[in-house]
Structure 1
Amino acid sequence: MIYLVAFLALVCGVLAYLLVQKPKVVTEVREVEVVKEITRDVVREVERLVPAESRVWLDEDVEVRDRLLTAMESSAMRVAVEASTTTLALESPDLKGRIIGREGRNLKSFEQTTGVELVIDDAENMVTLSSFDPYRREIALLTLKALIKDGKIQPSKIEEAHQSAQKQVENSMFQAGEGAARKLDLSLPKPVLQTLGKLKFRTSFAQNVLDHSVETALFAAKIAEELGLDHVQAKRAALLHDIGKAVDAEGAHALTGMEFLADQGESELVLNAVGAHHHDIEPASPEARVVIIADILSASRPGARREAHDNYLQRLQAIESIANAEPGVERSFAVQAGRELRILIKADEATDEDMKKIVQRIGEKLRQSSDHQGQISITAIRESRFSETIKL
């Protein structure tokens, strides 16, 4: 039965796509005729692939198809395509000059501290924050808002506001994880909620990973309930299936997620379902197979994902990873859609003479690893600071 449902789930994805694309693909065929035609194909494939002794016979209405489509229709989340820019409206045009600062000092300090490019153009009463990393961009936005509210925009204040914004975002991630669990009527440990909330700032093929996880859980619960399975466990496993993407560990995210959840005392059924959702291990229960199906349904729903956007993010992340791996580099930021790489050098580990060699080595590694043509401007920054409190 489960194999049949998996097969029908894939067919339903194609069916939904055809109906959505009707003006382009099915211009001369009525929807009911399309449904019947695909239904007949399903029945033929079932007769060909499923052994007779375990075959579930279906009429042309295909009850399973209807149930899956009902689950998709009732549970579909808003499709949010993540942009790489955020705009902030300003109350007064005079704020632009204060944000830039004398000789651009404030602007340089802001971009260096946050790793986000601040675009200040001729657009009236508006600035744009640009970064491929939504987490980094959110912190920069809160930093800028705090500076404007405080009225004192200067390098020392920028660093203070940035640290405060980081704490705010950490709190918002916990609230996001808590909200997702509450929506699904699930109880999760605090470490799991915090890690789950990090998915709010992760995307996969432009699909928000936390939204995808909640949608997958809704699909899994509905399908498991229709099949008479443990829908609570299926829902729990589906919500947590991508949590490994927020765990700081190497390896396949399904397995790192499974290991993280094992430390938090999750049940064997949930652990197996999480680890098996990309077939890194074999699914050991019907609920695990339901999670696989629900994950496919959410990911393949028309408009849910955009591969080009994800490839773009991966390319920028790869550029930063190459720079960060170089000895003497504190951190790096890829900006201008990957056309510029800004590197912060550890002042206590590298001299000014070393900076040129570091840039040359990083440039050579980028040339060897990149499949893209064009050029990248690499800027290295080495800064020494000394502060002392004087008692008067």
Structure 2
Amino acid sequence: MTIVYILVGGGGLIVGYFASLKLLAAKGKSASDESKKILDEAKNEARELLYKAKEESLKMQEEIKKEEQQKRRELSQNEQRLLTKEESLDKKLEQAEQKQDNLQKQIEELGVKRSMVMENLSKQEEELERVAKLSQDEAREELFKKIEKEHVVDLVKSLDKAEAEVKSKAKERAQNIIAEAMQKYAAETASESTSTLVQLPSDDMKGRIIGREGRNINTFEHIAGVDVIVDDTPETVIISGFDLVRRYVAKIALERLVSDGRIHPARIEETIVKVREEVEVMIKELGEKAAYDTGVVGLSPELIKLLGRLKFRVSSGQNVLKHSMEVSFLAGQIAAEMGANVNLCKKAGLLHDIGKAVDHEIVGHHAHIGADIAKKFGMNEKVVEAIRSHHGDPEPKSLEAIIVQVANLIAVNRPGATVDNLDNFIKRMEELENVANSFPGVEKSFALHTGALVNVVVDPEVLNDLEAIKLSHELARKIETDLQYQGQVKVSVLREKRVEDIAS
């Protein structure tokens, strides 16, 4: 404040000084009067300035005091908050230390209990070894058997409940998917043999077909690549051959020759060549139609031709082209239900048996031949893998490959799809029963439903309920590894104890 007074006083002196200079410069006036007047005015101005300076100083003091009080309040609040947080942290730290102590005590208690359990187990093992003179592994097995025997009822109930739940859910889901796929696809099935019949207008035509010294029939068989059987069957000639394309060409050519009436070697050759060209065009159209009907695109012309040739290929009495279209449709339906690649499954399903179009010309399994063909003509690697693995050799790796394999099994095993040989059927039934009878405790077994079910009757005095469950699982695994079959084989183990008495 003293500095302010000094500054104000200095300012007044300076003003007076300059005012005095003015007075001296003014001529014709009284210097002393004027100087007094000016000095009085300067003093008045100095007093006013000093008053104002005091007022400003007081205001500044008030503001500084207020600001100082506000900061002190804020400091006090911050200090209080810090103290509160410090107390809270101290409490949490104390609780954490207490929990750590409790955990340490629990760990120590568990360690003691574990030591006691291990000690009791060791004593039991030593006792078993001492009494039965068994090795450690043998003693462990004996202990497990003892536990199993004591709790056999609970184990059987738990196993039955868990197995029933899993089977129920899996079966329901699988049935829904397969049933929906099969419901959406209803295809006729036709069994085709290795021979074709050609109807003749009369038996006189047989002599013209044979020709002089058999020239006509020999020429026909040589060019067509089939066998023509002329026997006592009225007004009928049989064309025999394993290649359906050749048989079809021969049938059409022979019908045209019979209709035309001109049957001689030159005419025979001309007719067969012309029919063969027409059949090649028809094969292409059949392949294109199959691809169009199944919604498969992106196939090369060579694959289209091979696909059409499947129309003239039979497997287990089933037309392979119809079968391939059915697998394509089923695979697409299953893929849609399971969230897989629908187009890829449909394409792999349509081409899965493409190797059968040339498997009579190339050595090897049709699945591997088909995979090589698909790869050669630029098919996706997953399509190639699905074709190669649709018979399980090698095992399918992708979901799409598994779907194609399942669709193939459904198409093959649905009622009426294939023609089975009686000898093979009997052999398969005997193999199933022999495998079941090889297990100890089995009294007899029956293979039913064309091998889809094996009923096994066991001796209740030899096997208990838990061992019967084990037998069903072991028998199922043995059938999987030792036998070849299509679809699934259900194993049913029957354990029944009958008590009889006679009232006389």
- Please indicate the TM-score interval, normalised by the length of the shorter structure: 0.5 to 0.7
One-letter identity of the residue aligned with 1:208 = N
Over 3 Å counting, the alpha-carbon distance change for 1:214 and 1:295 in structure 2 is same
Is residue 288 from structure 1 mapped to residue 385 from structure 2 by the alignment? no
Q: Is the 8 A contact 1:206 1:310 kept in 2?
A: no
Deviation at 1:112, TM superposition (A): 3.3
Q: Corresponding residue for 1:270?
A: 383
Is residue 220 from structure 1 mapped to residue 306 from structure 2 by the alignment? no
Q: Corresponding residue for 2:357?
A: 246
Q: Corresponding residue for 1:33?
A: none
Over 3 Å counting, the alpha-carbon distance change for 1:212 and 1:124 in structure 2 is same
Q: Corresponding residue for 1:314?
A: none
SS at the partner of 2:375?
A: helix
Q: Corresponding residue for 1:26?
A: none
Is residue 260 from structure 1 mapped to residue 370 from structure 2 by the alignment? no
Q: TM-score, length-normalised on structure 1?
A: 0.60
Over 3 Å counting, the alpha-carbon distance change for 1:243 and 1:45 in structure 2 is farther
Q: Aligned pairs, how many? A: 263
Over 3 Å counting, the alpha-carbon distance change for 1:175 and 1:73 in structure 2 is same
Q: Corresponding residue for 1:163?
A: 273
Q: Is the 8 A contact 1:205 1:308 kept in 2?
A: no
Deviation at 1:199, TM superposition (A): 1.2
Q: Corresponding residue for 1:62?
A: 172
1:207-260 CA-to-partner distances (Å, cap 9, x unmatched) read 111111111111101111111221111111111111122244333322221221
Q: Structure 2 CA distance, aligned partners of 1:173 and 1:122?
A: 34
One-letter identity of the residue aligned with 2:368 = L
Is residue 207 from structure 1 mapped to residue 207 from structure 2 by the alignment? no
Over 3 Å counting, the alpha-carbon distance change for 1:282 and 1:130 in structure 2 is closer
One-letter identity of the residue aligned with 1:209 = V
Q: Is the 8 A contact 1:129 1:137 kept in 2?
A: yes
Is residue 183 from structure 1 mapped to residue 296 from structure 2 by the alignment? no
Deviation at 1:92, TM superposition (A): 4.9
Q: Structure 1 CA distance, aligned partners of 2:243 and 2:374?
A: 26
1:89-121 CA-to-partner distances (Å, cap 9, x unmatched) read 334554333222234332233233323333334
Deviation at 1:67, TM superposition (A): 2.7
Is residue 304 from structure 1 mapped to residue 417 from structure 2 by the alignment? yes
Q: Structure 2 CA distance, aligned partners of 1:266 and 1:166?
A: 29
Q: Corresponding residue for 1:316?
A: none
Mean Cα deviation higher: 85-94 or 144-153 = 85-94
Q: Is the 8 A contact 1:255 1:280 kept in 2?
A: no
Q: Structure 1 CA distance, aligned partners of 2:161 and 2:285?
A: 45
Q: Structure 1 CA distance, aligned partners of 2:161 and 2:244?
A: 44
Q: Corresponding residue for 2:181?
A: 71
Mean Cα deviation higher: 281-290 or 114-123 = 114-123
SS at the partner of 1:83?
A: coil
1:335-360 CA-to-partner distances (Å, cap 9, x unmatched) read xxxxxxxxxxxxxxxxxxxxxxxxxx
Q: TM-score, length-normalised on structure 2?
A: 0.48
Task: Compute the RMSD of aligned alpha carbons.
Answer: 2.9
Q: Is the 8 A contact 1:204 1:310 kept in 2?
A: no
One-letter identity of the residue aligned with 1:230 = N
One-letter identity of the residue aligned with 1:189 = S
Q: Structure 1 CA distance, aligned partners of 2:188 and 2:403?
A: 22
SS at the partner of 1:251?
A: coil
SS at the partner of 2:169?
A: coil
One-letter identity of the residue aligned with 1:302 = P
Over 3 Å counting, the alpha-carbon distance change for 1:268 and 1:94 in structure 2 is same
Q: Structure 1 CA distance, aligned partners of 2:316 and 2:210?
A: 34
Q: Structure 1 CA distance, aligned partners of 2:281 and 2:323?
A: 21
One-letter identity of the residue aligned with 2:215 = R
Over 3 Å counting, the alpha-carbon distance change for 1:226 and 1:90 in structure 2 is same
SS at the partner of 2:323?
A: helix
Which of 190, 205, 208 pairs up with 1:98? Answer: 208
Over 3 Å counting, the alpha-carbon distance change for 1:285 and 1:89 in structure 2 is same
Over 3 Å counting, the alpha-carbon distance change for 1:46 and 1:230 in structure 2 is farther
Mean Cα deviation higher: 153-162 or 105-114 = 105-114
One-letter identity of the residue aligned with 2:265 = P
One-letter identity of the residue aligned with 1:259 = D
Deviation at 1:194, TM superposition (A): 0.6
One-letter identity of the residue aligned with 2:199 = A
Query: Which is bigger in relative contact order (C-alpha 8 A, separation at least 6)?
Result: 1
Q: Structure 1 CA distance, aligned partners of 2:396 and 2:407?
A: 14
Q: Corresponding residue for 1:39?
A: none
Q: Structure 2 CA distance, aligned partners of 1:149 and 1:307?
A: 38
Q: Corresponding residue for 1:8?
A: none
Is residue 232 from structure 1 mapped to residue 343 from structure 2 by the alignment? yes
Alignment of 1:118-133 (within 5 A): 118-133=228-243
Which of 260, 263, 278 pairs up with 1:153? Answer: 263
Deviation at 1:195, TM superposition (A): 1.0
One-letter identity of the residue aligned with 1:172 = M
Q: Corresponding residue for 1:82?
A: 192
Q: Structure 2 CA distance, aligned partners of 1:269 and 1:46?
A: 39
> Highest CA radius of gyration, 1 or 2?
2
Alignment of 1:298-337 (within 5 A): 298-308=411-421
1:159-188 CA-to-partner distances (Å, cap 9, x unmatched) read 222222222222222122111101112122
Mean Cα deviation higher: 163-172 or 179-188 = 163-172
Deviation at 1:73, TM superposition (A): 3.2
SS at the partner of 1:186?
A: coil
One-letter identity of the residue aligned with 1:171 = V
Mean Cα deviation higher: 190-199 or 300-309 = 300-309
One-letter identity of the residue aligned with 2:400 = E
Q: Structure 2 CA distance, aligned partners of 1:295 and 1:225?
A: 16
